[in-house]
Structure 1
Amino acid sequence: MINRTAVVASKTGLHARPAAMFAQAAAKSPAPVTISADGKPPVAAGSLLQVMTLGVKQGDEVILYTEEGNEDTLDQLVKLLETDLDA
């Protein structure tokens, strides 16, 4: 299992449009990806509803997890999270 940390840049955090964009990208991953925030248990990153239950706000740090060999996917998801998707 590997992980990456990201700081969420979107003004609305992971809510509505940014969460949908992130979940859609995560769902395309060849291996399952999970996301956790603020000490909460990881949830499926490809599930919009589960991502939104984390209550992530702008500036919050999240951790993404996946299997070895899926590093490129995590790097792309981190880049997405660290971009203001509200713009």
Structure 2
Amino acid sequence: MQNNTVVVKCKCGLHARPAASVMKTAKTFQSKIRIEKDGKSGNAKSIIDILSVNVNCMDQVEVSCDGADEAEAMQAICAILESEID
């Protein structure tokens, strides 16, 4: 299992478009991927879960990946969260 803390740089936080990007990317991996903020945690393969975590711009989130391709999954998900997509 890998854990990483990242600062979300999406200008409007994880609203529908960046959340969909996270979800689509997460679904390409076998690993279980979760995003957590302030005690709320969501499955990164579910857009509803991602949106329910209520992540805003410049929030710190904990990303956890567990599985055979966890290193690649972590790199891909963190890259999206740290990018300034809108």
Instruction: State the TM-score, normalizing by the size of structure 1.
Output: 0.88
The structure whose residues are more often strand, as a share, is 2
Instruction: State the TM-score, normalizing by the size of structure 2.
Output: 0.89
1:4 aligns with 2:4: yes
How many matched pairs? 85
Q: Name stretches of at least 5 consecutive residues in structure 1 with no aligned partner.
A: none
Q: Name stretches of at least 5 consecutive residues in structure 2 with no aligned partner.
A: none
Amino acid at match of 2:14: L
RMSD: 1.3
Give the superposition deviation at 1:39: 2.2
Aligned mates of 2:44, 2:34 — CA distance in 1: 5
Aligned mates of 2:51, 2:21 — CA distance in 1: 12
The change in CA–CA distance for 1:3 and 1:17 in structure 2 (over 3 A counts) is same
Amino acid at match of 1:24: K
Pairing of 1:1-87 with structure 2 (within 5 A): 1-40=1-40, 42-67=41-66, 69=68, 70-86=70-86
Deviations 1:52-72 (A, max 9, x none): 011100000111112255112
Aligned mates of 1:5, 1:75 — CA distance in 2: 12
Which runs of structure 1 show a deviation greater than 6 angstroms over 4 or more consecutive aligned residues? none
Do 2:7 and 2:60's aligned partners in 1 also have CA atoms closer than 8 Å? yes
